[in-house]
Every structure is written in C-alpha cells, then in structure tokens.
C-alpha cells in the first residue's frame, strides 16, 4: 500500500477524533456547570459585581483583539511577503504587538506572587488563574496547527517563504497573550462567580 493511500483514512480518523473530543468537551461544560436553581438565585448571580481581575481581563482581551485586528489589516493590505521586506511596516506592526503585550501585562502583573501574598487575590481568582494556562496552551497549539496546515497546502511543492515564519511566531505569541485573558473570563463563567 502506498503512502498516498494512507493519508485519506488518517485524515478521516483525525477529523472524527477532533469532532468527538469537541463534543465531549462541550458536553462536559454543559453537565458540570450547575445552573441557578431559583429565580432569586438567577437574579443574585446577574447582579454580582465584576472582580478587579475580571475587569483587567476584559481590558486585556478587548485591547488585544483591537491590536490584533489592526495588525491583520496592515499585513493584509500589502501581503505577507511584501510586509516582511518592508522594514518600516514591520516596525509599525511591532509597535502594535508591543501594545498587545502591554495589555497582557496589565492583566498578568497584578496576579503575581506579591499580589497573592498581600491578599489581593481571593480563592475565586486563584482558582480562575489555574484555568487560564490550559486555555493558553490550547490556543498556542491550535495556532501552530492552523498555520502548518494552511502554509503546507498553500505552498505545496514550492517552498514556504521565510516571512511566514516570522508571522507564525508572532501569531502564537499574540494567541498566547489573548488566551490568558479569555481563559480568565472563561474561568469566571464556568465557575459562575459572575453572571
């Protein structure tokens, strides 16, 4: 049997495995998240104030998404290869990446060991911060997988231009930063600590 004949069954098995794992994950989310049992409890949950960590996570996520959209627009206007050759344009994109990093630092710095020892983080925050790295790892893996498949298919037999490696690195970096804020927000949603 030739290798070319093996790719189709492998692709089908991987696709089925991905669909099953996503279905199991969604099922786990639905079954483990305990819904409010009474209208009074629902009303109480709806009026819980956001924690300072939640507010910083929203700031980090929205700012990061805005910077990411600006980066995508800038690179899409000239194309990835022309972007890599233009030093001035790369500096503009690097500035936008640094703004994304600052929004990430606004979220991450107040959650360090010093903040935990001063009591700035309660049990909810510490539990939620335990969820965020899982979301970050998944975001990094998905980003690398998407780039790998897209570049391999787009440049099959031609060779991938070097500039794409630069974009791959920075996109994983941005996905990692954005996923931290998203992981915090997901943790609060999952824990029902804020409606």
- Using one digit for the tens of pLDDT, what is the confidence trace for 99-152? 888 888 888 777 666 665 666 677 777 778 887 888 888 888 888 988 888 888
DSSP 112: S
Give yes or no for a contact between 77 and 194, defined as CB atoms under 8 angstroms apart.
Answer: no
Burial of 178 (0-12, 13-18, 19+ CB in 10 A): buried
CA 43 to the chain's CA centroid:
31
Q: What is the residue extent of each domain of the chain?
A: 51-191
CA 140 to the chain's CA centroid:
7
- The model carries a pTM of 0.71
Give yes or no for a contact between 51 and 124, defined as CB atoms under 8 angstroms apart.
Answer: yes
Cα separation, 144 vs 140, in Å, equals 6
Cα separation, 149 vs 123, in Å, equals 41
- Using one digit for the tens of pLDDT, what is the confidence trace for 13-26? 777 777 887 777 77
Give yes or no for a contact between 127 and 187, defined as CB atoms under 8 angstroms apart.
Answer: yes
């Amino acid at each position: 049997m030739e290798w070319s004949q093996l790719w189709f069954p492998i692709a089908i098995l991987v696709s089925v495995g991905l669909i099953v794992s996503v279905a199991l994950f969604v099922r786990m989310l639905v079954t483990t998240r305990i819904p409010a049992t009474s209208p009074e409890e629902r009303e109480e949950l709806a009026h819980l104030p956001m924690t300072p960590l939640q507010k910083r996570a929203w700031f980090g996520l929205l700012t990061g998404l805005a910077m990411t959209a600006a980066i995508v627009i800038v690179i899409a206007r000239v194309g990835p290869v022309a972007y890599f050759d233009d030093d001035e344009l790369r500096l503009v994109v690097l500035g936008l990446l640094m703004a994304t990093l600052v929004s990430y630092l606004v979220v991450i710095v107040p959650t360090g060991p010093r903040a935990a020892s001063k009591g700035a983080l309660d049990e909810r925050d510490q539990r939620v911060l335990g969820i965020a790295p899982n979301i970050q790892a998944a975001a990094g893996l998905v980003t690398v997988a998407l780039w790998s498949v897209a570049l391999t298919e787009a440049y099959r037999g031609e060779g991938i231009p070097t500039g794409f490696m630069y974009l791959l690195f920075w996109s994983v970096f941005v996905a990692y930063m954005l996923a931290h804020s998203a992981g915090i927000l997901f943790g609060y949603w999952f824990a029902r600590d804020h409606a």
